């Protein structure tokens, strides 16, 4: 599509980087607004989002590099060029989760309530960020003849050029926006803290695993080349989310009886 948003001489502004930055800003704004609504100090949520962003970028880039290590061994300077694309969400999610948990405990915040504040922001941030993937051409789909297939032609695009592909970036973006909408509605009816976080994890892990079947880029296949790394992580997180929803729901019912 249009990986370069603006170019003046040798100076380039990549569309991917701009949209990822915008995604973080929108997520921060919504998280701070939700914190105020739920009686949590917005300043602490802003602090959390700062550490979350750093951890998410590092974790997602590290996992991407691991999955494509032969290329980066030959081109080590490419490791730092994140503005061109190349972030694996699950890597960022796992590292950010660990960092946020540490911050929450250190500042004596309510763990599950805080994560419920952050969950919708993560979803809408993904929706915007995946649009960046679309413009950069990363995370592209398999070849298809479907009427909504797209063809990348820009020489700096990371996708295959000149062939019709599944617009998996748009599938992922629409999916994330849909999850954001579901979480926005669900927060009005939630019975216990932690519900939004684990509902998000469940919805994302299932839908991401489905979208993976339409991906055409190299993502690292495991178990006799049968599933991708993201699908494997998604299976683990999906099972974990079901368990946690059941566990937190049961604990809430027990506490309500006392």
Query: What's the average model confidence in pLDDT over 226-247?
Result: 92
11-57 tens-digit pLDDT: 778 898 899 889 999 999 999 999 999 999 999 999 999 888 889 88
**Mean of the per-residue pLDDT values for the chain?**
89
Q: What is the pLDDT of residue 65?
A: 84
Q: What is the pLDDT of residue 146?
A: 96
Flag whether pLDDT at 179 surpasses 70.
Answer: yes
48-84 tens-digit pLDDT: 998 888 898 888 888 888 877 777 888 887 787 776 6
Q: For 79, which DSSP code?
A: G
Q: What is the pLDDT of residue 123?
A: 96
Burial 142-166 (b: 16+ CB within 10 A, else e): eebeeeeebebeeeebbbbeeebbb
């Amino acid at each position: 599509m249009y990986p370069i948003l603006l170019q003046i001489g040798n100076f380039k502004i990549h569309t991917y980087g701009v949209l990822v930055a915008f995604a973080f800003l929108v997520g921060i704004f919504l998280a701070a607004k939700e914190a105020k609504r739920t009686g949590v100090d917005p300043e602490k949520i802003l602090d959390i989002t700062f550490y979350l962003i750093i951890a998410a970028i590092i974790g997602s880039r590290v996992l991407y590099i691991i999955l494509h290590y032969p290329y980066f061994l030959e081109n080590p300077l490419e490791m730092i060029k994140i503005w061109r694309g190349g972030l694996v969400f699950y890597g960022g999610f796992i590292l950010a989760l660990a960092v946020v948990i540490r911050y929450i405990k250190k500042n004596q915040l309510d763990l599950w309530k805080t994560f419920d504040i952050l969950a919708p922001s993560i979803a809408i941030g993904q929706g915007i960020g995946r649009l960046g993937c679309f413009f950069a051409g990363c995370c592209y789909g398999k070849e298809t003849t479907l009427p909504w297939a797209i063809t990348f032609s820009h020489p700096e695009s990371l996708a295959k050029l000149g062939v019709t592909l599944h617009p998996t970036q748009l599938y992922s973006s629409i999916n994330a926006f849909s999850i954001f909408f579901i979480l926005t509605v669900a927060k009005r009816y939630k019975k216990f803290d932690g519900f939004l976080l684990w509902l998000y994890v469940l919805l994302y892990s299932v839908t991401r695993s489905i979208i993976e079947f339409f991906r055409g880029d190299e993502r690292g296949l495991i178990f006799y080349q049968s599933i991708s790394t993201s699908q494997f992580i998604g299976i683990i997180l999906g099972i974990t989310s079901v368990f946690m929803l059941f566990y937190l729901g049961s604990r809430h019912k027990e506490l309500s009886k006392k």
